[in-house]
Amino acid sequence: RKEVEQDPGPFNVPEGATVAFNCTYSNSASQSFFWYRQDCRKEPKLLMSVYSSGNEDGRFTAQLNRASQYISLLIRDSKLSDSATYLCVVNTWNNDMRFGAGTRLTVKP
Amino acid sequence: NAGVTQTPKFQVLKTGQSMTLQCAQDMNHEYMSWYRQDPGMGLRLIHYSVGAGITDQGEVPNGYNVSRSTTEDFPLRLLSAAPSQTSVYFCASSRGGRGDTDTQYFGPGTRLTVL
């Protein structure tokens, strides 16, 4: 079983749609959680950190459920520029960062 | 600031050849790391360094060596290239060390093919 699992997609949605990505992790000792965005043939870039209380950044909302070892990312009012692969990242106490394989999103006009 | 730079961008090797992937950062970050990314898999940590003179193994270290003689540079050496090492390699740096929640900044990647 992979330590960080994501639905690979692809998710194909129209502009303006709301889309949700899910991620589960297996190591209960995990300390910090992130969503990274990776454009085609580019490097990953931090989208947002994920906090236990949930956090929002504009159209993006991230949630963490430690009891279920589950992380989510919600994108509202999707834009064409949101098309990318979204990586779920989990960091254990010793800075051992584990990446999910990513969920690919395509937003269409 | 250039951020994290990597060279070369592309490389083709024959089985058994050795080479060094270069990585440099100008943000005075203590923590640097190397990942490989393969289709259908997440980025996997190869080696990392928490400061000059200190390196440690990650999840998939076999076949790779690293050194950290300066804060800025963290080269990755392939000792004897194998087709299984065909991948995209990313170098990353961050301000913090173990357990830190700081953002990791990634270089643009090196696409390596081993024939």
Mean per-residue pLDDT over chain A, rounded: 92
pLDDT greater at residue B96 or residue A17: A17
To the nearest whole Å, the CA of A50 is away from the closest chain B CA by 10
> Burial level of B88, CB count in 10 A (0-12/13-18/19+)?
middle
A51 touches chain B (CB under 8 A): no
The residues, ordered by sequence, that sit 6+ positions from A19 with a Cβ below 8 Å of its Cβ are A11, A13, A74, A75, A78, A105
Q: Which amino acid is at A47?
A: L
Mean of pLDDT values over B91-113: 82
Residue A81: C-alpha distances to residues A9, A96, A101 (Å) = 18, 31, 21
Chain A contacts of B90, Cβ < 8 Å? 43-44
Of the pLDDT bands very low, low, confident and very high (cuts 50, 70, 90), residue B106 is: very high
Are B42 and B32 within 8 A, CB to CB?
no
Write out pLDDT tens, residues A43-94: 999 999 898 888 999 999 999 999 999 999 999 999 999 999 999 999 876 6
Q: What is the maximum span of chain A, computed from C-alpha positions, in angstroms? A: 43
CA distances from B2 to A53, A109, B5, B11, B23 (A): 35, 35, 7, 22, 12
CA distance A65 to chain B (A): 18
The band of B1, judged by pLDDT with boundaries at 50, 70 and 90, is confident
B59, A49: Cβ pair inside 8 Å? no
Res. B99: pLDDT tops 50: no
- Taking contacts as CB-CB distances below 8 angstroms, the residues of chain B near A9 are none
Across A5-9, A55-59, B66-70, least confident range: A5-9
CB atoms within 10 A of CB B103: 16
